[in-house]
A and B are shown apart, each in its own frame.
Chain A
Amino acid sequence: MTDQAPATGQAPAIEMRGVNKWFGAFHVLKDINLEITRGERIVICGPSGSGKSTLVRCINRLEEHQEGEIIVDGITLSNDLKNIDQIRSEVGMVFQSFNLFPHLSVLENCTLAPIWVRKTPKAEAEERAMALLERVKIPEQAAKFPGQLSGGQQQRVAIARALAMEPRIMLFDEPTSALDPEMIKEVLDVMVDLAETGMTMICVTHEMGFARQVANRVIFMDEGEIVEQNAPEEFFNHPKNDRTKLFLSQILAH
């Protein structure tokens, strides 16, 4: 599929077949078919309201789809709470608005789920959390509360918090959209580092530089449909669909 597509003979990391979803009468996702192999790094872009966030949120069941099938890591998403919790502990998520727990310190944010969901002993969880904070380059903030950190630092903590669960798949829902321009780079740097470790990543983002640098595949969505998908070079240089061309001309104009 691309110059560095991971070669694996295993089952796909995520498989979506004929997925449809409505918010009331509004049809948000229309017949989504998508297969994501392990280690693949996907960037999803599109205008607001195109359903890209909803698509990602369906993967860990923050949104419920009404038709079709979603299989994550071999587990089919259903109303079975046990399945959902299992998938959620395998799939990490980073939100646009960080959603750190404001009443817990940075370190506690990163150790809570490992201790209570994974049953990791506290000392071990703290040690691993510190290693992750080191990796996102803010170990010195461990004892602080989220409210005392800048936006970029908070988002890096959020990445460390998700990684603390040792997920196999990471979802990023517009991780840099709420950040000041000067902080975007520090978050993207962390994401590039993560991409280099071979993590399966699905990022909703408009950072096209990031897409070019790390993505195996770029997906363009509009009106709840996947309009076009291709390797980044092809996607940016030779978009096939008129809608894609228009979108790219708008976001790359500046």
Chain B
Amino acid sequence: MTDQMHSPSTWTPKPDRPPPVALTGALGWMRENLFSSWLNAFLTVASIYLLYSVIPPLVDWAFLSAVWEGASRDDCLEASGACWPIIAVRWKQLIYGFYPEVEYWRPILAFGLLIIALYFGLYDKAPGRKYGLWYVCIFPFVAYILLYGGVGGLEYVESARWGGLLLTLALGVTGIAFSIPFGIVLALGRRSELPVISMLCTIFIEFIRGVPLITLLFFGNVMLPLFLPEGMNIDNYLRVAVVVCFFASAYMAEVIRGGLQAIPTGQYEAAAALGLGYWRMMAFIILPQALRVSIPGIVNTSIGLYKDTTLVSLVALFDLFGMGRAINADAKWAALEIEIYTFIAMIFFISCFAMSRYSLWLEQRLARGEQR
């Protein structure tokens, strides 16, 4: 033992040892994660049974016994599986609504421009992003001109003819894109030291949050025209879009306010002590941190809003969901709700899952290098 003792003057730190080896291999992993206790083992077996009883019939319905080609409902009568021809026949309406077929290139182009805008807007390392962000700012106007037409030789397509995924995307993207900046303004306003501004923002937020979206949609769609002077007719889509934007902004404002409250006062004081005024303090110090904290909430609200746009089907707009309901009413293809709703659900799932993954990616990316 004595030779292990060391005099204080010659102390050297012990070399690092690797950590003890854990259970390895597939068997070790299973024992540790699936069968570590009786309860755990029971849950594992029960889960496997559940999956066994759900997945094979589902695969059978959707793929193995499904009918893929046909001209009408009659071609599906023999089969026990899904009747997919309905989608093949109706997919154009589900995507474009009643948009004139010769003009389909316009929504397609707008969608392409949207992808480019998303690339520049969401990916901070995109080459030429400085100019890309200008593009993002003008994109909404370009997209709406493209879709509405009526200028530069483009045929005017009234919004009553928009529908399906086109309408869902138009509403969803407009709502989300509008609600973030407006939500920031409302959140800052609510925290303002000026009582009038703070009160106005609080009233706006609380009023909008306290009323169901569907009520606001009916208000915008049915009641608003009654208040407007005769002959003044605002486009149905526009009215709904404004309501959706306001609704989303109120929710976004509260999410962002939560983020603002998470910023320690020391940050405000340090920025103030450097002589940064209110707007610069907000723009460079407070908001970048507050928005980062709010990312999960912002994405959560965005996903919620995107799906809530289906409510517009109740005020005579044929969004993706409303279009599906309309198609169900076709006697020639009766009783095929499941196929249509499955298709619609898949489209929604893809968009929402993408948003969710983007949020995770962004959080990890922003956390990198800044972690303690």
Contact = CB atoms under 8 A, between A and B. Distances in A.
Interface string B338-372: 00000000000000000000000000001001111
B267 A161 contact: no
A81 interface: yes
A113 B285 contact: no
Contacts, number: 69
Contacts of B267: 99, 101
B292 A103 contact: yes
Nearest to B280: A116
Given A99-B266, A99-B267, A113 B274 contact: yes
Given A103-B288, A103-B289, A62 B273 contact: yes
Contacts of A117: 274-276, 280
Interface string B281-313: 000110011001000000000000000000000
A101 B276 contact: no
B270 interface: yes
Interface stretch (A6-14, A18-26, A90-98): A90-98
B275 A85 contact: yes
Nearest to B267: A99
A147 interface: yes
B277 interface: yes
Interface residues of B, number: 23
A120 to B, nearest CB: 13
Nearest to B271: A101
A147 B269 CA distance: 19
Given A81-B277, A85-B277, A117-B276, A112 B284 contact: yes
A165 B272 CA distance: 13
Contacts of B284: 112, 116
A113 B264 CA distance: 19
A99 B269 contact: yes
Nearest to B270: A99
Which of A81, A100, A103, A148 has the largest count of B CB atoms less than 10 A from its CB?
A103
Contact of A89 (B269, B275, B366, B371): B275
A95 B274 contact: no
Interface of A: 60, 62, 81, 85-86, 88-89, 91-93, 95, 97, 99-103, 112-113, 116-117, 144-145, 147-148, 158, 161-162, 165
19 contacts: A62-B272, A85-B275, A88-B272, A88-B275, A93-B273, A95-B269, A95-B273, A99-B266, A99-B269, A101-B267, A101-B289, A102-B289, A103-B370, A113-B276, A116-B276, A117-B280, A145-B370, A148-B369, A158-B270
